[in-house]
Amino acid sequence: MATRYEQVMARKGEIMKRALGMDYAQFERSPIAFDYEAMMSAHGYTLERIRAIQRAAGVGLTPLLELRNLTDLVRSYAEPGHGARIFVKDEAANMAGSFKDRRASMSIHVAAEKGFAGVIAATSGNYGAAVASQAARAGLSCIICQETFDSRHVGQPEIVEKSRICEAFGAEVVQMTVGPELFFHMLELLEETGYLSASLYSPFGVSGIESLGAELAEEMIALTGAPPTHVVVTHAGGGNTTGTARGLERVGAHDSVVVSASVDLSGLHMASDTDFNRKSFTTGHTGFGVPFATWPDRSDVPRNAARSLRYMDRYLTVTQGEVFYVTEALSKLEGLERGPSGNTAMAAAVSLARELPSGATVVVQETEYTGAGKHHWSQLAFARAQGIEVRAGDPAENVPGKTIVIPERPEQIRAHDVDLTRLRRSYIRNALAHAPEGYEPTPEDVVFLAEDTNTTPSAVEEVIAGLRVG
């Protein structure tokens, strides 16, 4: 007999179809290809309508700040003529303290518009707080499902902090240990309650981030006379990169270089009970960034609207210690005490600005609130309690899950490039692996894969030929 888990997971498609109010089958073109732009526009909201919805929800129009002191610091050790101007979009000014409010505002609007009594989201991060906040404003019930504990029932302080704020907004928080139960239990609750799935990866959720990209481009044009030369985006599941890049394109900022950034947590497994409390970061790390880039449809929806390889021009990784150092520097130099997860992009930007000419402009497109368990001091204290060595030194000696090395000098901050060619190859391999056995990609499939990896049909054909030989 099938287990309860198997029975529920077998009904995933029909549960999510009802819970999203959307039939993904209409966009399918083959076992590999689907009409991405049709899916993204199916909700019917223009960018201006999205902005109006968000303004009514108290979301958006956040400050764009030039970080002159941080720029001066970078220029003090950069080569002559180098050291780009650094700016930041202070998304901590949103209702629940992060850019995720933009995502949540759209999910809640859709829920209210379609007549759902409540919403459910599976998230251990800022998105839960954003959904709970927006649900409270709309008078909707809200359930947040979280992976909170390891098998010892020890919870990460950042996740426990998110539980607190979700409950403060009136949400019911369902806490679980790490493992496969998160989405299974969410599906059970969706079926039982009839609520909307406020998925991180729905088209309307990801479209909500487009206002952020458009906003920062327009503000940079007003401030400097041109769109930013570079925009640095913390990368996890891919929605942040996707939505920001699409927003930049919508207002004509086609030449802005989109740089994704993640904390390097190589060697740690995100579903591992022993690794769960050794990460220090619940998001914005390679444990999400790489798997979701190379196979976005691993998410809770049939087709993920967050498809980062379509949009990233460069992918940088930084160490845990570098992020903690920059978090402290931002507080001391700019008077901005913000959460370390949001400062992943800031650490990458400090490294990037050093290599760019002084006339370039680098915008870090978001910050997040901090406090209690989210604070970097709390994170470091928790790491020590888990037996992780925390010390000053060369961040190149950082070992995820074992040692956090905080730089002694800012010039030690050096981001590293991820090989996008390798990621594209992995994505194409995954797409072929998920097709029926013996399926031969069509010319339409090749074009789709080229679009989804931001490359060319000939490059895709070359990868496919190489995979067959291999």
Where in the sequence of the chain do the CATH 3.40.50.1100 domains occur?
A: 4-52+98-201, 59-96+206-417
More confident site: 235 or 300: 235
Q: pLDDT digit string (tens) for 38-50? A: 999 999 999 999 9
Q: Residue 83 pLDDT more than 90?
A: yes
* pLDDT band of 282, cuts 50, 70, 90: confident
- DSSP letters, 285-321, are BHHHHHHHHH-GGGSSSSS-S--GGGT-SEEEEE-HH
Residue 1 has pLDDT above 60, yes or no: no
Which is it for strands 416-417 and 314-318: parallel, antiparallel or unpaired? antiparallel
**Which residues have a Cβ under 8 Å from the Cβ of 185 and sit 6 or more positions away?**
145, 174, 176
How much is the average pLDDT of 288-298?
96
Q: What are the residues whose beta carbons fall under 8 Å from the beta carbon of 333, sequence distance 6 or more?
A: 67, 69, 70, 73
Give me the CATH topology for the region 59-96+206-417: Rossmann fold (3.40.50)
> How many residues can be counted in the chain?
470
pLDDT in tens, 114-171: 999 999 999 888 999 999 999 999 999 999 999 998 889 898 888 888 899 999 999 9
pLDDT of 2 reads 63
Burial grade of 141 (CB within 10 A; 0-12, 13-18, 19 or more) = middle
pTM (2 decimals)? 0.96
The CATH number given to 4-52+98-201 is: 3.40.50.1100
User: What is the arithmetic mean of pLDDT over 4-20?
Assistant: 87
CB proximity list for 307: less than 8 A, separation 6 or greater = 36, 238, 242, 296, 452
| pLDDT higher than 90, residue 373 | no
Q: What is the mean pLDDT of residues 430-459?
A: 97
In this structure, what token pair is assigned to residue 92? 């901590």
pLDDT of 470 reads 62
Say what the pLDDT of residue 371 is.
Answer: 83
Query: pLDDT band at residue 345, thresholds of 50, 70 and 90?
Result: very high
The pLDDT of residue 113 is above 60: yes
Element (H, E) at 130: helix 126-138
Distance of CA 141 to the CA centre of its chain: 25
CA atoms of 275 and 271, how far apart (whole Å)? 8
